[in-house]
Structure 1
Amino acid sequence: MEWIHIIGVGGIAMSAIAQYFLEAGAKVTGSDLNSNQLIEQLQKRGAEITIGHHQDNISADIKKVIYSDAIPEDNVELVTAKRYNLERLGRSQALKLITKDKDVISATGTHGKTTTSAMIAQVLEVGKQDVSFIIGGILNNFDSNFKINQGDYFVLEGDEYGRSFLKYQSELGVLTNIEFDHPDIYQDLDDLLAAYKEYVTNLGSYLVTNQQVIEQLKLDTLDLEIEVETVGINQPEATFNAVEIEERELTSYFDLEYQGERIDRFELEGLGDYNIKHALEAIAIGNYCGLSFAKMKESLSKWRGVKRRFEVLYEAEDKIVITDYAHHPSEVDVVTANLERIKTDKKKVVIFQPHQYIRTNRLFDDYTYVLDKEIDQCIVSKIYKVREEVSETELDRLGLKLSQIISSDEIHYYNKLGEIKAWLEEYNQKEQAIYLFLGAGDIDDFAREWVASF
């Protein structure tokens, strides 16, 4: 039996890789700094996981050591694996190994890659394509971020962090949008654009994108050796175009035009043009893979979203609780605009946790007035620190400064989640409200714990 050890096994992508090797019959061990639900699920399936990184976790009998992008070179387990001369694979190298006999479909972009790749998996699954996937979010339709099948297609979320999406071959690709992000990896926007352009030129046969990305990358689609199709909203020049958009409560409806011809009216759980655009991207991939529009209409009507993507955690007469992964300024702006457009007599409350000091500092001006909407109460928590050495004092300084520019209205700033809980309990006694929790850190765990206390 092959022995696989995974450092950082509790991450969303790494846990999926662990599931793959468990299903393949390997012995799987792993480690992480903290336990979570993903780790608990892996342990139930037979993985042996240690909390904390220790050199004793590494044995000379291990066949492969796979490590997360968050693991530094001086990690004690990685150093020990090097001393034993064990085979060591980063996340993207592991994905390359896992998908070597498949046609990879990857969705990438600054925003929306999780939702798009998840919709692609949903469309192909309902279309009986026997799809496999590893995606950076839990798909509510599958209650998993992983599935392995015997079919030809393997859907991956093409992560630009660490230039991971360039380290394996994608046959079909979706490029949703491009904005500057990950300042700890990319020097500037030009550096990021160069990586995305390399992604496009490495694709095997097909690209789905939009006219804005084509212009950003200065692509001459006639010079590319792949087929390129575009999506758009009220853009008749796009290959796949959505028109006659209507929203009712938390559901969107749109008419699909394909190459200028009206096809049918589609229903999609979720609000906002961006969700419709991601549905169009999934439709484009499905069409290329031979699915009928009728079958894709059926699959999207059954779509139930991805955890932490405008996910409704609780709904009752007195309150609704929603959580979303948004943390980049553009994401925060779009998601809070969705909250703003909901017609309700309830108050609207946003609790935002900025993510990563270096991102918040580098993109600081882009946060100006992103919460300046018809929202009744806004709370900012302390910045969630990731892979960076920064003092608590500096986190507070920048977080407080951020709270002063994100809206023209009064903003509450708290540096402890316990203080936010106390505020929520008091407010909840007085008002009926929709609570929207935003951020990629532990604010989601906090929201779920609060809901569990009702």
Structure 2
Amino acid sequence: MGWIHIVGVGGIAMSAIAQYFLEAGYKVTGSDLNSNQLIEELEKKGAEITIGHQQDNISTDIEKVIYSDAIPEDNVELVAAKKYNLERLGRSQALKLITKDKDVISATGTHGKTTTSAMIAQVLETGGKDVSFIIGGILNNFASNFKIDQGDYFVLEGDEYGRSFLQYKSELGVLTNIEYDHPDIYQDLDDLLAAYKEYVTNLGSYLVTNQQVIEQLKLDTLDLEIEVETVGVNQPEATFNAVEIEEQELTSYFDLEYQGQRVDRFEIEGLGDYNIKHALEAIAIGNYCGLSFAEMKEAFSKWSGVKRRFEVLYAAGDKIVITDYAHHPSEVDVVTATLERIKTTKKKVVIFQPHQYIRTNRLFDDYSGVLDKELDQKIVSKIYKVREQVLEAELDRLGVELSQTISSGEIYYCNQLEEVKEWLEEYDQNEQAIYLFLGAGNIDDFAREWVAEFN
């Protein structure tokens, strides 16, 4: 086998690609700016990782250089690879190569694609299908974001960032929802809608979505050369419909209706209609792939979620600590509403770290009132900067303004995570509470480090 080098190997998706090539027998090297647990796991499996990007990491013996979407074209390693005429592949091009002989099942949408693709993998695996997957999150049932098998099915998270999901062909697809996001990629909502419509047009045989998306994309499902089925909650016109919903602590129960007929009662770990919709999307894919509803009910009885998706890090004594990847305004709205609805005598505390200056600035008005909920304490930390040239003072200014618009009630703004820690330590001494940490940046690491101090 040849030699693969991966630039930005420590990312959640890139680490999965590295694992694929390791298992396929390739020599795998890589680089990233900082070490993390994913890199440590790759090193244990035989990958050679360099911390820091440098020209010396590139050799003429390398067969392919694969790079993350976060890596700019002027990166010294990409420049060296071009100088040596090495084959260079972006993440989506690498996924196209990996899945070229497979039936790809992808889940895409502005929100929920990680959870939905993970649920699909869980359903197919429990139903006895030989399924492979590369997903942008750690599946707790598999303790991994990657699995390779000999079967035909390959589950991918269809990432719209950089229009990646248009670079490979999906046979089956799920489109969860559409909201404007990634203003650094898409000029406006119409530009984003055009990309999603192209995704639908490129599908091989089957689409699972909902009526709202059909209306947004102005789809005439009768004109499409694929089968289209819909999901909904208390929507009898949907092919797969959830009714009689009940929540107990962190678990949801619902009756499944298929084509208007009551099937069975399902149980899933997770709260909120959005989690039930994602379960219905996975059920639709499983049904299309020939699984019985009994098999899928069993799959969800074993489902234990995805890392950073309303993940319970700690639950003992006087506190519960939860972490979630939510950072888009509507995600923050939905996830904090989930916290709000939990029946408990404990106080409810949310700590939100905004993600990306560009996103926060462009979507600023959408954050208005998002935290106007019955929560006991609300904290906003400074914006987590990604791939952006912006002064710290400007990050701080926008963060302060965001804290003032995101809630009309009392709210704390913290310039540094160290300030958050000081606040938590003082509050935690006096209250029983549920703490919800939100954001796509290093707020998750912060939460895990705080929990580690409890033991």
Shared fold per TM-score greater than 0.5:
yes
Task: Write the distance in 2 (CA, Å) between the matches of 1:151 and 1:198.
Answer: 27
Residue aligned with 2:66, SS: strand
Give the letter aligned to residue 135 of structure 2. I
Name the counterpart of 1:235: 235
Residue aligned with 1:405, SS: helix
Task: Write the distance in 1 (CA, Å) between the matches of 2:438 and 2:36.
Answer: 19
Task: Write the distance in 2 (CA, Å) between the matches of 1:416 and 1:329.
Answer: 21
Give the letter aligned to residue 182 of structure 1. H
Q: Does 1:267 align with 2:263?
A: no
Runs in 1 of length 4+ with deviation above 4 angstroms?
Answer: none
Please list every run of 5 or more consecutive structure 1 residues that lacks an aligned counterpart in the other structure. Answer: none
Give the letter aligned to residue 284 of structure 2. A
**Counterpart mapping for 1:30-429 below 5 A:** 30-429=30-429
Indicate the RMSD between aligned Cα atoms, in angstroms: 0.4
Q: Deviations along 1:184-233, whole A, 9 cap, x unmatched?
A: 00000000000000000000000000000000000000000000000001
Task: Write the distance in 1 (CA, Å) between the matches of 2:174 and 2:193.
Answer: 15
Task: Write the distance in 2 (CA, Å) between the matches of 1:22 and 1:426.
Answer: 47
**Percent of pairs identical after alignment?**
88
Give the letter aligned to residue 249 of structure 2. E
Task: Write the distance in 2 (CA, Å) between the matches of 1:141 and 1:40.
Answer: 20
Residue aligned with 1:268, SS: strand
Task: Write the distance in 2 (CA, Å) between the matches of 1:13 and 1:103.
Answer: 19
**Which TM-score applies when normalising by structure 1?**
1.00
Task: Write the distance in 1 (CA, Å) between the matches of 2:408 and 2:388.
Answer: 30
Give the letter aligned to residue 453 of structure 1. E
Give the letter aligned to residue 204 of structure 1. G
Give the letter aligned to residue 171 of structure 1. E
Name the counterpart of 2:438: 438
Give the letter aligned to residue 126 of structure 2. V
How far apart are 1:374 and its partner, in Å? 0.7
Aligned residue pair count = 454
Task: Write the distance in 2 (CA, Å) between the matches of 1:236 and 1:422.
Answer: 50
Residue aligned with 2:307, SS: coil
Q: Deviations along 1:354-406, whole A, 9 cap, x unmatched?
A: 00000000000000111110101111110000111100000000000000011
Residue aligned with 2:219, SS: coil
Task: Write the distance in 2 (CA, Å) between the matches of 1:261 and 1:430.
Answer: 51
How far apart are 1:408 and its partner, in Å? 1.2
Task: Write the distance in 1 (CA, Å) between the matches of 2:103 and 2:116.
Answer: 17
How far apart are 1:317 and its partner, in Å? 1.8
Task: Write the distance in 2 (CA, Å) between the matches of 1:381 and 1:237.
Answer: 43
Residue aligned with 1:183, SS: coil
Task: Write the distance in 1 (CA, Å) between the matches of 2:46 and 2:167.
Answer: 30
Q: Deviations along 1:20-76, whole A, 9 cap, x unmatched?
A: 000001000000001110000001111000000000000000000000000000000
Task: Write the distance in 2 (CA, Å) between the matches of 1:251 and 1:452.
Answer: 25
Residue aligned with 1:350, SS: strand
How far apart are 1:409 and its partner, in Å? 1.1
How far apart are 1:158 and its partner, in Å? 0.1
Task: Write the distance in 2 (CA, Å) between the matches of 1:288 and 1:93.
Answer: 27
How far apart are 1:412 and its partner, in Å? 0.7
Give the letter aligned to residue 142 of structure 2. F
Give the letter aligned to residue 137 of structure 1. G
Residue aligned with 2:406, SS: coil
Q: Deviations along 1:270-307, whole A, 9 cap, x unmatched?
A: 00000000000000000000000000000011110000
Q: Deviations along 1:95-127, whole A, 9 cap, x unmatched?
A: 000000100000000000000000000000000
Residue aligned with 1:435, SS: strand
Please list every run of 5 or more consecutive structure 2 residues that lacks an aligned counterpart in the other structure. Answer: none
Task: Write the distance in 1 (CA, Å) between the matches of 2:436 and 2:405.
Answer: 19
